[in-house]
């Protein structure tokens, strides 16, 4: 009787196995390739926001993040992206312009969402239609309104006292040049003399930063190379104030910024990813999205040291 009972139980367990397997297989699991171009505060925050948004949507156990950082090295970034395509991940998150460009060159089938990218048309050398990249690419832009940045610079550093502005950027970053070329006429319309001063990479950033310091004030856009080398820039500019396009650069070597929240930008990108993975949206039809708000921020210690009066509507950056 015991043997018969055991046999019956075994048969029932075997019969139940397909149902159990079927139940498990219905649980969606997604593998997400994360290619972050370099380690700095803004990009780190965007990656965290992206992951948090997806975890909130699906739960951590349903997601596998292949979280890689290229350390600002192009061959490393290519290796990372090629690994993602070989593994046929469900989606690639390309954090910063070089990562987006590398991913776009590697695949036309895997969905690619960029972030911390200023202008997708410039980055990808194509014309967007109504804010849509098309194909397998979309994402979010970190562009803060350049007209408002020009207004902020003029508010803090009036042309009568600060007549010349150095527009300091990396010549290898097309989005940095785009921002510089956009803000230059806005500042010139306010009476400033603007001097474009570029550097090619880390080998000449300090020398060119010292050249920029010969001007009354320095403006730096959202530039990845500057963000990775703020200590060198700070050491080279001395007492020349610097206005930054984002908070991380400002914290490292600047006085003030009109900055978006990169964590929130990453969350927006994660929410876009969730819609794609759930089949609620086609990436080929998704418009580039932007941060909802910007905040005026400043470094209190540098403002005090340079004897710069900061209006009350600015928020102090934690030091």
pLDDT value at residue 2: 41
71 with 217, same domain: the answer is no
Number of domains the chain is built from: 2
Same domain for 173 and 49, yes or no, is no
Looking at the structure, tell me whether residues 217 and 306 fall in a common domain.
yes
Predicted confidence at residue 14, as pLDDT, reads 39
Tell me the angle at which helices 146-156 and 174-188 cross, rounded to the nearest 10 degrees. Answer: 50
Q: What is the pTM of this model?
A: 0.79
Distance set, CA 278 to CA 91, 143, 190, 217, 270 (Å): 12, 28, 49, 48, 12
Has residue 1 been placed in a domain? no
Would residue 8 count as lying in a domain? no
Q: Please, are residues 208 and 168 in contact by the beta-carbon 8 Å criterion?
A: yes
Q: What is the DSSP string of 111-164?
A: -EEEEEES-HHHHHTS--BTTB-BTTEEEEE-PPPHHHHHHHHHHHS-TTT--E
112 in the same domain as 50? yes
Residue 57 and residue 176 in one domain? no
Q: Which domain holds residue 200?
A: 146-259+295-316
242 lies in some domain? yes
Cα distance between residue 245 and residue 259, in whole Å:
6
The pLDDT value given to residue 28:
56
Is the same domain home to 59 and 201? no
Contact (CB, 8 A) for 197 and 208: yes
CATH number of the domain bearing residue 210:
3.40.50.2300
Same domain, 118 and 217: no
Asked if 56 and 275 count as a contact pair (C-beta separation under 8 A), the reply is no
Answer for the pair 206, 216: CB distance below 8 angstroms, yes or no: no
Domain co-membership, 282 together with 188? no
Does residue 124 sit in the same domain as residue 243? Answer: no
**Do 40 and 158 lie in a common domain?**
no
Determine the Cα–Cα distance for residues 190 and 157; give it in Å rounded to an integer.
Answer: 11
Query: What residues in the chain have per-residue pLDDT under 50?
Result: 1-26
Residue 311 burial (10 A CB sphere; 0-12, 13-18, 19+): exposed
Helix axes 74-87, 97-106, angle to 10 degrees: 40
Task: Tell me: do 206 and 307 sit in the same domain.
Answer: yes
Instruction: Based on the fold, state whether residues 208 and 101 are members of the same structural domain.
Output: no
CA distances 148 to 89, 126, 225, 293, Å, are 39, 27, 23, 12
């Amino acid at each position: 009787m015991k043997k018969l009972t055991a046999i019956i139980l075994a048969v029932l367990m075997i019969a139940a196995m397909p149902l159990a397997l079927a139940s498990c297989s219905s649980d969606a699991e997604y593998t997400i390739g994360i290619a972050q171009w370099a380690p700095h505060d803004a990009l780190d925050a965007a990656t965290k926001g992206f992951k948090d948004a997806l975890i909130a949507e699906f739960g951590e156990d349903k997601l596998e993040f292949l979280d890689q950082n290229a350390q600002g090295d192009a061959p490393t970034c290519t290796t990372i992206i090629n690994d993602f395509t070989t593994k046929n991940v469900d989606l690639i998150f390309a954090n910063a312009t070089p990562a987006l460009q590398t991913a776009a060159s590697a695949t036309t089938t895997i969905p690619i969402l960029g972030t911390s990218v200023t202008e997708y048309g410039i980055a990808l050398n194509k014309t967007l239609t109504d804010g849509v990249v098309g194909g397998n690419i979309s994402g979010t832009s970190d562009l803060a309104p350049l007209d408002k940045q020009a207004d902020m610079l003029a508010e803090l550093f009036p042309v009568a006292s600060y007549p010349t502005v150095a527009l300091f950027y990396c010549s290898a970053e097309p989005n940095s040049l785009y921002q510089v070329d956009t803000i230059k006429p806005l500042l010139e319309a306010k009476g400033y003399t603007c001097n474009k001063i570029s550097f090619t990479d880390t080998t000449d950033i300090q020398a060119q930063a010292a050249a920029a310091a010969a001007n009354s004030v320095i403006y730096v856009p959202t530039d990845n190379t500057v963000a990775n080398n703020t200590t060198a820039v700070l050491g080279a500019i001395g007492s020349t104030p610097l206005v930054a396009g984002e908070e991380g650069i400002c914290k490292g070597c600047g006085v003030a910024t009109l900055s978006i929240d990169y964590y929130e930008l990453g969350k927006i990108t994660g929410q876009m990813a969730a819609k794609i993975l759930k089949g609620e949206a086609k990436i080929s039809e998704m418009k580039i999205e932007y941060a909802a708000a910007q905040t005026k921020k400043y470094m209190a210690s540098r403002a005090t040291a340079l004897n710069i009066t900061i209006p009350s509507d600015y928020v102090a950056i934690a030091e």
